[in-house]
Structure 1
Amino acid sequence: MPESPKVPVRMAVAAAALAVAFVASEASAQINVPKPSYKFEKCYGVVKAGMNDCFSPVHTCGGTAKKDNEPAAWIYVPAGVCKKIAGGELSPPEKG
């Protein structure tokens, strides 16, 4: 009976750890931030990369914005604050 190739234990452990880390990072990216308890509004266009609060037309979940100030990415802010922030918009950009 032919012998199966032996994989060094360290390589197998490292590969398993890498796989677990990848799965964990993917799972942690799938978040939806709960609505705040205070009166809020969604503020578009002022989000730092990876800090958006929820899905948008170009993102599936919170924490998935790829770059700063993406027009369709939003965060919760207290009501009345968004228009005071440079670049803040109360609605997403129009499609087209």
Structure 2
Amino acid sequence: MSDSTTTTDHDTIRAWAQARNAVPATPRGTQEDDGSPGVLTLDVQGYGADEEDLEHVDWDAWFEKFESANLAFLYQEEKADGETSTFFKLVSRE
């Protein structure tokens, strides 16, 4: 198993996502009344949820929610076999 890393650095998170063709997203139906993202995720193209299930949001809105929810980004750079990993999880900073 490959090691995981936790960060709150916006540039690191954005670079990790962009290297994997991932965009900030929220599951449809979880948005706040003011239109801001509800549950946060990344839409890694070619993996995971159907595009109909996710709504893409801009990075500013994503990071605003990330900070207000006091989250950290747990991720892997590589799988155990050396391939690029798309594993990530949003966790509490506490």
Same fold (TM over 0.5): no
User: Larger relative CO (CA 8 A, sep 6+): 1 or 2?
Assistant: 2
Higher strand share: 2
Structure number with bigger Rg? 1
Query: Scaled by the length of structure 1, what TM-score is found?
Result: 0.27
